[in-house]
Amino acid sequence: MNLTRIENIDVKSQRVFVRVDFDLRMENGKIAERSKLEKTLPTIELLSRKGARIVLGTHFGKQDARKDSKYSTRVLCDEFSELFGKPIQFTESQDFNELKNLSESLEDGQILFLENLNFFEGEWSDDEELAKKYASLADIFVNDAFAIAHQTLTSTTTLTKFLPSYPGTLFFREVESLSNLMNKPDKPFVAIIGGSTVSGKIKIMNSLLSRVNTFLIGGAMAYTFLKSRAVPVGSSVVEKDYEVLAHQFIDKAGIAGVDFQMPIDHIIADSFAAKAKNKSVDRMGILDGWIGMDIGPKTISAFEKIIKNAGTVFWSGPMGVIEFDRFSNGSTQIAKAIAKSNTKSFIGGEETVLAVYKAGVEGKITHLSTGGGASLEFLEGRVLPGIKALEGTNEL
């Protein structure tokens, strides 16, 4: 891919529009987790250190949140300013004449934090007129929002038509790491696939089939695969429309010589609730009226042994219902097993990354991807609009 690193460009005294993804999870009006801020910090520090005059923009909350003041990015500005260690100027203005004046008044290394880009009419509609207005605020565009690279937005794709454009350090690292995962994995290559649905993961599984040595399957999606092999799953969620496809995929894996491991025991509950009655049962032991909520201890042990001997591990999708603490142990133990191994590890998806942070092992993972849907679509071999828009656009 023809992407130029920002380390190699001169930004001194240049106004740089930096598009980030600070769409943070909130709880009771407070920021619950700020890893997205931390991962973007190196890009902002680099540009500031090189004397750029930074205009920072992000979306926050719902696409239709234009009139909802609770989605003002002021709270994000305050949090990022604390992390950055220097004051950052915030503006709630949506008047581009005023914004242009503010951007032109910046000094080298300073930052202007814009109001929520969702508040700007046309942000979600590939609007060239809005893109020209964004472009009036800067001399250079830097996209560090890899997590939304699979979407076409005015501030991520259309804007590249009007400014020399580059990936930020986070964006570049995401593309580089995922490319290496697909093209240069150390063997054995183990893919751990979980989450809610087969429909959401079957494309990435097909893409990985010719590359991996082993699939480890967990999460709610495992019950569609198990049901396709006539294993009783009780009242566990099953995608009936995908049973045949699941059955066929297991056969395809066998023909390709790929080991396909499904749970051999389960933690089940009598209802989908945090305090539901629960117990551990073997592979054939899920009774009618009971729901599979997590992988069991025997499955954890079997998966740990495979992970220990892996050369590369890719993990997408939790092993259980991690929003309920008592059903998060499978995901926690898998995260710890990956951290203990010497394997190259690539983990993607918001819930999966959250499981890693809950396990306290984020510092021992080779690459924690900020991109959920973007990472999956990249690994499926799709052309991502956010990447395509940056290729060959740095000579405008």
- In the chain, what are the domain boundaries? 6-169, 185-379
Domains 6-169 and 185-379 alike in fold: yes
Distance CA 259, CA 305 (A): 14
Other residues' Cβ atoms within 10 Å of the Cβ of residue 339: 18
Pinpoint the alpha helices (H) of the chain: 35-49, 74-84, 96-104, 128-135, 169-183, 202-208, 222-228, 243-255, 297-308, 329-340, 350-359, 373-379, 385-388
Nearest partner of 170 among 349, 380, 5, judged by Cα: 5
User: Does residue 119 carry a pLDDT above 90?
Assistant: yes
Rg (CA), the chain: 23
CA dist 307 and 255 (Å) reads 23
Work out the burial of residue 257: count CB atoms within 10 Å of its CB; fewer than 13 is exposed, 13-18 middle, 19 or more buried.
Answer: exposed
**Site of tokens 């001169």:** 10
Q: How far apart are CA 50 and CA 330, in angstroms?
A: 45
CB 188 within 8 A of CB 314: no
Q: How confident is the model at residue 394 (pLDDT cuts 50, 70, 90)?
A: low
Q: Retrieve residue 293's tokens.
A: 């909520």
| pLDDT at res. 62 | 79
Query: Containing H/E element for 351?
Result: helix 350-359
Pick the CATH number of 185-379 from 1.10.10.10, 3.10.20.30, 3.40.50.300, 3.40.50.1260: 3.40.50.1260
Residue 33 confidence (pLDDT) = 81
Q: Which residue shows structure tokens 């920072």?
A: 56
* Band of residue 396 on the pLDDT scale cut at 50, 70, 90: very low
Q: Which residues pair with 17 in a beta bridge?
A: 55, 141
pLDDT score, position 66? 66
Residue 65's pLDDT is 65
Q: Output the average pLDDT for the chain.
A: 95
Q: Answer left, alpha or beta for residue 218, where phi above 0 means left and psi between -120 and 50 means alpha.
A: beta
DSSP 8-state class, residue 113 = E
Q: Record the tokens describing residue 347, joined without a space.
A: 């983990």
Give the CATH class of 6-169. alpha beta
pLDDT digits (tens, 9 = 90+) for 183-197: 989 999 999 999 999
Residue 379 confidence class, pLDDT cut points 50, 70, 90: very high
Is residue 269 within 8 Å of residue 291, measured between CB atoms?
Answer: yes
Spatial CA neighbour of 198 closest among 163, 248, 132, 235 = 248
Round to whole Å and give the CA distance between 318 and 332: 9
pTM exceeds 0.75 for this model: yes
Residues 6+ apart with CB under 8 A from 366: 177, 344, 345, 346
Read off the pLDDT of residues 131-170 as tens digits, 9 standing for 90 and up.
Answer: 999 999 999 999 999 999 999 999 999 999 999 999 999 9
Q: Which two tokens stand for residue 306?
A: 């495979």
